[in-house]
Amino acid sequence: MTARRVVITDVGPRDGLQNQQKILSVEQRIELVKAIAAAGVPQIEVGSFVSPKAVPAMASTEQVFSGLRCDGFATPTVALIPNMKGYELARDAGAKTVTMVLYGSEGMAQKNASMSMAETEAVTLDILVLAKEDGIKVIATIAVAFTCPFDGSTAQSTVTQLVAKFLEAGADQVVLADTIGAANPQQVRELCAPLVRRHGAEKLGCHFHDTRAMGLANVYAALESGIRRFDSSIAGLGGCPFAPGASGNVATDDIAMMLQQMGYETGIDLNKLMQASDLAQALTGTAPGGRAKAWLQGHLIKQAS
Amino acid sequence: MTARRVVITDVGPRDGLQNQQKILSVEQRIELVKAIAAAGVPQIEVGSFVSPKAVPAMASTEQVFSGLRCDGFATPTVALIPNMKGYELARDAGAKTVTMVLYGSEGMAQKNASMSMAETEAVTLDILVLAKEDGIKVIATIAVAFTCPFDGSTAQSTVTQLVAKFLEAGADQVVLADTIGAANPQQVRELCAPLVRRHGAEKLGCHFHDTRAMGLANVYAALESGIRRFDSSIAGLGGCPFAPGASGNVATDDIAMMLQQMGYETGIDLNKLMQASDLAQALTGTAPGGRAKAWLQGHLIKQAS
């Protein structure tokens, strides 16, 4: 990975769909994942192994995995897991990479996972041991790494210690998640730049929501801090069912456009990405769609005039 | 002005209203200007002196000025002018600061002003001489300073030379305008950082549109380059009637929120600003409204839960 290479993980089929009123079928979820992959997005979070009672949209994620496997799907996939049971389900479904969620605040740990921060840490350490035996990669995502809707600002030292602890324990990557879209670019820079210097860009990622129009500003601040891995969501689908005030993730549409125009390599074909975005909007009926589409259409208008 | 002080000029009553389907009355325009001032915005572009045939929403701008003067309005105001006739009308209306538009491309100069770039430069030089005699401040705004919808990317050297030429000729400030919202943060940094080093932050400003969700990313890149003056538009009203693909300006709502959270001083009261934003939306029926409001409301919900 060169300094101009940025790796996008589209989390729309998980973080996006879990917040939609409309619940998609397994076939529709597979169709969306394939459309995102066809645009060249290098990694896709295809679902989560959570309680179907808590998050009905993520029921039958094992069928999404098996359907993709039967079709010889080649793009690396990720499954989000909330606990040990989720890990076992993901492993049994054939997941090669799992994302386990840690928390920057007690309030969010309780609301989102019904555990204390320490309990999620202990479970993640157990999962890391098993995953090593099972040959499964583990991404540790720190939710509310910047601000929590219940507990307020997250201390930088809390996050810094979590990052060091879990990379040392063998996590393949740690993702800093602005779960509710409350971070500002200065805060992003202050948290990320020292972490990149200490651990290297390969080991770190960022996950931003565009709740307050600051999504791409935070991406830019993270880029300037050396971060080269980002989560984003096709068509800006997203939110968090347990985090008041959270709206859509940064749209893959928008981040891919910005990165391309800034000369970064993402491997993404913008025109094919717009097709995936159209599909996400058609399937859900509610996706905001990012802004890239209107822009690219405006461009076409311009070239015709 | 300290390095943490940022001066916002709200251009909504001009750049915003000129693009609305609904044409506001003089009284409504005055009401909006007063609401923005009540929130502590330090400078407001209250209208333009352009042909009422070309831009009907800006007809009777002289009445907006006289109405504000009669009411003892104290916040500094700005009038946009496209040419010498506009200058004379603005002066006669009692404007103390005018913004004259220069162009980074021939295509946009022709479409927007029916002049060549050289003609707009010559007129602006003439205006600078008169304005000095009249005791009127002149802001020179360089339209399409980053990218033109007709001619493509604007050469950095074109803009750099215009900035130097007009500051040397006596312009009080030069504003770099991303008229169609096509700039990316890297481009902003590459253009702005050398200009701030050469001319100082007092003499420069930036004007961004949020067409592609990059508005605040560009503001952050400009801040990091040392820029401390920004145009923005209440409730994200905006666009450009002659620039295809342009949508709203960066919302004052959003930039004020971001700056406050990053510890910059703007003098703006966010709650009162939301009232001005509500008014802008009520008056026009179409303003996008920025995101700050949803966020602040979410915050209230959170504190109640």
Q: Are B74 and B43 in contact (CB under 8 A)?
A: no
* Angle value at C-alpha B189, between B183 and B191, nearest 5 degrees: 80
B274 in the Ramachandran plot: left (φ > 0), alpha (ψ -120 to 50) or beta?
A: alpha
Radius of gyration of chain B (CA): 18
* Dihedral sign from CA coordinates of B181, B185, B186, B190: positive
Q: Which CATH number fits domain A7-304: 3.30.360.10, 3.20.20.70, 1.10.3720.10, 2.40.50.220?
A: 3.20.20.70
Mutate to test the interface with A, among B260, B295, B297, B299 (most CBs of A within 10 A): B295
Q: Are B92 and B58 in contact (CB under 8 A)?
A: no
B47 Cα to chain A: minimum distance (Å):
27
Q: What is the spatial distance between Cα B12 and Cα B14, in angstroms, rounded to a whole number?
A: 5
Q: Taking CB atoms and an 8 Å cut-off, how many pairs form between chains A and B?
A: 108
Confidence check: pLDDT of B244 > 80:
no
Neighbours of B40 (CB within 10 A): 16
pTM (predicted TM-score): 0.92
B196 Cα to chain A: minimum distance (Å):
19
Confidence check: pLDDT of B305 > 50:
no
B238 Cα to chain A: minimum distance (Å):
16
Query: What's the average model confidence in pLDDT over B178-201?
Result: 95
A114 in the Ramachandran plot: left (φ > 0), alpha (ψ -120 to 50) or beta?
A: left
Interface of A with B (CB under 8 A): 149-150, 184-187, 210-217, 219-221, 224, 244-245, 247, 251, 254, 257-258, 261-263, 290-292, 294-295, 298-299, 301-302, 305
Residues of B with Cβ-Cβ distance to A290 under 8 angstroms: 213
Interface of B with A (CB under 8 A): 149-150, 181, 184-187, 210-217, 219-221, 224, 244-245, 247, 251, 254, 257-258, 261-263, 290-292, 294-295, 298-299, 301-302, 305
Q: Which residues of B are catalytic?
A: 240
Average predicted confidence (pLDDT) for chain B: 91
Tell me the DSSP string of B275-296.
HHHHHHHHHHS-----SHHHHH
Residue A52, C-beta contacts closer than 8 angstroms, at least 6 positions apart: A58, A59, A60
Contact A301 B220 (CB under 8 A): no
Q: What is the spatial distance between Cα A126 and Cα A124, in angstroms, rounded to a whole number?
A: 5
Q: Can you give B102-168 as a three-state secondary structure string?
A: EECCHHHHHHHHCCCHHHHHHHHHHHHHHHHHHCCEEEEEEECCCEECCCEECCHHHHHHHHHHHHH
Q: What is the spatial distance between Cα A148 and Cα A291, in angstroms, rounded to a whole number?
A: 27
Query: What is the ipTM, given to two decimal places?
Result: 0.89
Residue B210, C-beta contacts closer than 8 angstroms, at least 6 positions apart: A213, B181, B216, B236, B247, B248, B249, B250, B251, B254
Q: What is the pLDDT of residue B301?
A: 34
Angle formed by the axes of helices B270-284 and B252-261, to 10°?
A: 170
Query: What's the average model confidence in pLDDT over B85-107?
Result: 97
Nearest-by-Cβ selection for A291 from B187, B213, B216: B213
Closest alpha carbon within chain B to A293: B212
| Residue carrying structure tokens 């001319």 | B199
pLDDT tens digits in sequence order for chain A, 305 residues long: 458 999 999 999 998 898 887 899 999 999 999 999 999 999 999 999 999 998 999 999 999 999 999 999 999 999 999 999 999 999 999 999 999 999 999 999 999 899 999 999 999 999 999 999 999 999 999 999 999 989 999 999 999 999 999 999 999 999 999 988 889 999 999 999 999 999 999 999 999 998 888 999 999 999 999 999 999 999 988 755 555 555 688 999 999 999 999 999 999 999 999 999 999 989 988 766 667 766 666 543 343 22
Q: What is the spatial distance between Cα B50 and Cα B25, in angstroms, rounded to a whole number?
A: 17
A152 in the Ramachandran plot: left (φ > 0), alpha (ψ -120 to 50) or beta?
A: left
pLDDT in tens, B120-134: 999 999 999 999 999
Confidence check: pLDDT of B276 > 70:
yes
| Residue carrying structure tokens 């801090």 | A225
Residues of B with Cβ-Cβ distance to A295 under 8 angstroms: 181, 211-212, 245
pLDDT in tens, B3-30: 899 999 999 999 989 888 789 999 999 9
Q: What is the spatial distance between Cα B297 and Cα A129, in angstroms, rounded to a whole number?
A: 43
Q: Which residue has the higher pLDDT, A234 or B212?
A: A234
Q: What is the pLDDT of residue B285?
A: 83
Confidence check: pLDDT of B287 > 70:
no
pLDDT in tens, A16-40: 898 887 899 999 999 999 999 999 9
Contact A214 B186 (CB under 8 A): no
Total residue length of chain B = 305
pLDDT in tens, A73-118: 999 999 999 999 999 999 999 999 999 999 999 999 999 899 999 9
Tell me the DSSP string of A77-98.
EEEEESSHHHHHHHHHTT-SEE
Confidence check: pLDDT of B243 > 80:
no
Q: What is the spatial distance between Cα A285 and Cα A281, in angstroms, rounded to a whole number?
A: 5
Q: What is the pLDDT of residue A128?
A: 98
A262 Cα to chain B: minimum distance (Å):
6
End-to-end CA distance of chain B: 41
- At B135, list the tokens: 């005791």
Nearest-by-Cβ selection for B184 from A251, A261, A301: A261
Residues of A with Cβ-Cβ distance to B221 under 8 angstroms: 220
Query: What's the average model confidence in pLDDT over B159-178?
Result: 98
Q: What is the spatial distance between Cα B27 and Cα B68, in angstroms, rounded to a whole number?
A: 10
Q: What is the pLDDT of residue B216?
A: 95
Amino acid, single-letter form, for residue B78: V
Nearest-by-Cβ selection for A185 from B214, B245, B262: B262
Q: Are B237 and B287 in contact (CB under 8 A)?
A: yes
What are the residue ranges spanned by the domains of chain A?
7-304
Residue A183, C-beta contacts closer than 8 angstroms, at least 6 positions apart: A146, A147, A208, A214, A218
DSSP structure class, residue A23: P
Longest dimension (CA), chain B: 61
A44 Cα to chain B: minimum distance (Å):
23
Closest alpha carbon within chain A to B219: A217
**Percent residues over pLDDT 70 in chain B:** 90
**Percent residues over pLDDT 90 in chain B:** 80
Known catalytic residue: A240?
Answer: yes
